[in-house]
Every structure is written in structure tokens, then in C-alpha cells.
Structure 1
Amino acid sequence: MDLNTKDIQLQYEGFLNTPFLWNSDAVFDLKQFEFLKENSATFNNGIVKNLRLGKRVERFVMHELIQKKNINILAENIQIQNGKTTVGEIDCILTENEHPFHLEIIYKFYLYDETFGTTEIEHWIGPNRNDNLVKKLTKLKNKQLPLLYNSFTNPLLKKINLKSENIAQRVYFKAQLFVPLSLKNNSFDLINNECIQGFYIHFNELKQFSDCKFFIPSKINWLQAVQTQTRWLTYNLFLTKVEDLIKQETAPLCWIKYPNGEVQKFFVVWW
């Protein structure tokens, strides 16, 4: 297995093992697409080398779904057009046991910041503060899901012989969550606490981990579980590499290996 194939397989396994951000319709009344998970953990499709993380996840979801005998994919990644203008994109229309569903796919990395917003849901933000959970949920509810009922979607529905009023809507929303060190053992009311993958820390606070080793995976490998057999960096070398990213106001996801051999994911933030 070449390195790229091995990495893709590890990404797929990391994706599969990421829990849904909530169960049923606990958040914003958006229902997760819940189905019996008994899939093979092997991903045997090729992926374009530079395919970005979001599109990569869409490929992984499709691969996961087609393993199911009772699921049939009718359309995926369909651009809805008004002449030459793109109105939006529908991620997937499928049938499960012949019941049609419109599915929107989301995979996110969020950090819990009590200084942002006023409610638990508002406190979850992107690593670089230019994204947040409420913004994404609002976009889903007000823009992405209503696209099914847009008149410009009719040609697609006609093609697959369905009417919008007969199609149920679901989201497939997975996330990796990170909390401040002070909240490491905290549990949250509205989200699935199994999504918490690690902590985050400000660059200036890294010194407390000077006896640890580190690794900075590429963004597409953020999906992976921490790999123990890797080229671990010493604290000083890690600090130099991270400082360059922090100066660019980029918060990297990193792996940490403690002196006792324990490993974990964490973000280093600039804000």
C-alpha cells in the first residue's frame, strides 16, 4: 500500500469513527440521517491527491452509504442552475427502503470559546474564528435545505421522478470538538460529548508541554486518529514550526505524545 493510499484509508477510518454532532433532532430541529452502521472499514476508491477535506468527506459518505443494500443514491453533488448562475448545490438525494431523502453533508472542527456568543451552541467556533456552528446551522436551515423547494431544482427532481413534497430532509453532521484545558472534563448538554477529541491552547501557554513530543498533520489528515508510528518532533522544533503558522493567524491541529506514551489531538490558537 503506497503512502497516499494508506493515508486515505486512515482518513476514511477517522471519518467513520467520528460521531454525529448530535442525535436525532436535538439541535435547531435538524434531523440527523440515522441508519444502521455495519459497514466495512475499507475505502477502495481512488481520490484526487489535492481534493480538499470537505469534498473528501462527501466521497467517504457516498462510499459508506452505497455499502447499504437498502440505500440507493439517486443524485449527488448536483449544481442547481439558473441559466449560467449557480443557485446552490444539493449534496445528495437517495432512497432508504424506497423512502426518498434529501441529505446535506457536513464535517467540522469546532473549538469551545465562552467569550464568543451567549449560549452553548453559539460558543462553538472554527479554529480561526471565521466560522461558527450557529452560522452553519442557520445556512443549512435557511439556504441549503430550502434549495429542494426552489423552482430551479425541478428539472433535477423530474429527472429522478420525484416531487419535493414527498422527500424527507436530513443532515449528516459530524464534528471533532476541542475544549480549553480548563474544561477538559466538562460535559455539554446539547451536543454529543463523544465528539470531543482533545483540547486547545494559546501559543504562549505551550511551555507546560516542553517534555512532550509533537506532530503537525496536513489538513486532510486532520481526519485521522493520532498515529503513534510517526516522526515526532521535539518541543523546540515543534515550537519553531508552530510559530510560523501562528504569525499567519492560522491555528493548526497537532498531535501530542506525553512522556508516558499517551497521545492526543489539540489545537494551538493565535487568538
Structure 2
Amino acid sequence: MSERTGMDRQMSLDDVSDLDALFERRGKAAQEGLDAFEVRRAVPYGDGPGETLNIFPAGKDAPVMVFIHGGFWRSLDADLFSFLAPGFVPFGVCLVVIDYPLIPSVRLADIVASCQRAVSWVCDNIADHGGDPDRVHISGNSAGGHLVAELASRPGAERIRGGTAISGLYDLAPVVQSFQNDDLQLTADEVANYSPLLRPLDIRMPMIVTVGGDETQEFLRQTDDFADRIGVVSYHAPGTNHITVLLDALASPEDRLNRLVRAQMGLPAD
């Protein structure tokens, strides 16, 4: 097996069983989240295309969770992750799910800058939606996990109280070795400058670093290496894959991952 073929499998969902059914369940759960909770959709945080966010209010002075979706920096949108609302809003958390411009219309530097603008906008404006600007946390999965690591180690991080990086990509070199780069066209400079495992890091906020226990070896490796790099112990959510680590773990109030995140936010985890 060639290196390219091997990394193709590592960077795909080929080993996830019943994938179409999972996608259907995720879409249904997202619509249920939109229907069940108050939501302010497509609120602009910048002037560029894709620079909007969805806000699920949770009352006055609520701690805030900003979620950054995955999709290998080139697909998916905030609406699809509305299924996270039941895991946070009933516990008094103002959930903010952001969109950002996607490759190929922009490059990684633009995406990171957009996410920084989103967090800055939240800190400056979330009080108008009931959120506490002094209790802003961030989380994200896959490409979003990568973006959490980027935001945690770049200017503006001082305004964030904690982060949760889920199934992130912290070393982009293997991405270049896979079919994903056919569309992404990541450059050597992007790999060097936007790989948290390959560049200097200064992360001072509390961090949860986690991954689905049933994910590919490359995602497990990168999670463990990143956790070790920043001095925390990684958590492998048992029995979950790249999709269900969100759908059945982060979004589920009974799951340990959801409880860990709520505890990081200073909320009761019972």
C-alpha cells in the first residue's frame, strides 16, 4: 500500500459503518435543535462572505460556548451543528455556532482571521444576547478542532476562558499526503505556519483535548501528540467515531465529554 493510499484512508470516513444513516440522523437532530430552541441565525460578525454566526440564547449573564464546525476547511455550515443546543442551552449556556469562509475561495490564513473576528465579535457583542463576555469558551471538531488550537495560541486568546479541541488536525503534513489535498492544495508554508504540532505554541487557557475512541489511527495520534505537547491528558470518548463524538458525546448531557466541558465552564456537571 502506498503512503498516499494509506493516508487517504486515515483522512476519510470509509471505516464508519452506516454513514448515510448517521448523516441522516445528524441532519434530523440539527433541525430539531433549530425548532426546539430560540435561535438568531446568520448574525454577521464581519463583512466577508460566510462571516455569520447562529446564537442560541440562554438567559441573562450566561456563559458562552463558541463552536467551530469541521469539514476539512472546505465544507459544512453552522446550521448543521444545531444539534448541540440540547447539550448546552438547557444548562444555561449561550451557544454560538459560527460559519467561516471556505477553501477554495480563501486560504487558511483567512479562515483563522475570520474565526478570530468571530470570537472578538462575541466578546464585544454577546451581552446584547444575554451572554457573559467574560466567560467565553471555544470548541470545535476536526478542522474546527484545528481552529480551536490556532485561536488558543494566537492574538485574542486572552479573551477566551477555555477550549475544547475535538478530533483535530494539528499536523497538516499528513493531510497533504491524502486525497483531501486535491481540493485543499495546502502549501508548504501553510503546513509550517498552521500546524500546531510544527510551530511554537503558547497556550495558557484550560484545554480539553479529545477524540472519538473509534477514529482512525492518525486522528488518535495527532490528538495524543497535541495533548502531550500542551501538557494535558487526552480523552478518547469510548465507542464514538468522527461523527458520533459530537452527536452522541458532546451533545449529550449524560455523556462524560459533555460533563467535562460544562465543568470547565464552571457549571454543575450533574
TM-score by shorter chain over 0.5: no
More strand by share: 1
Q: Provide the TM-score with structure 1 as the length reference.
A: 0.28
Q: Provide the TM-score with structure 2 as the length reference.
A: 0.28
Q: Choose 1 or 2 for highest CA Rg.
A: 1
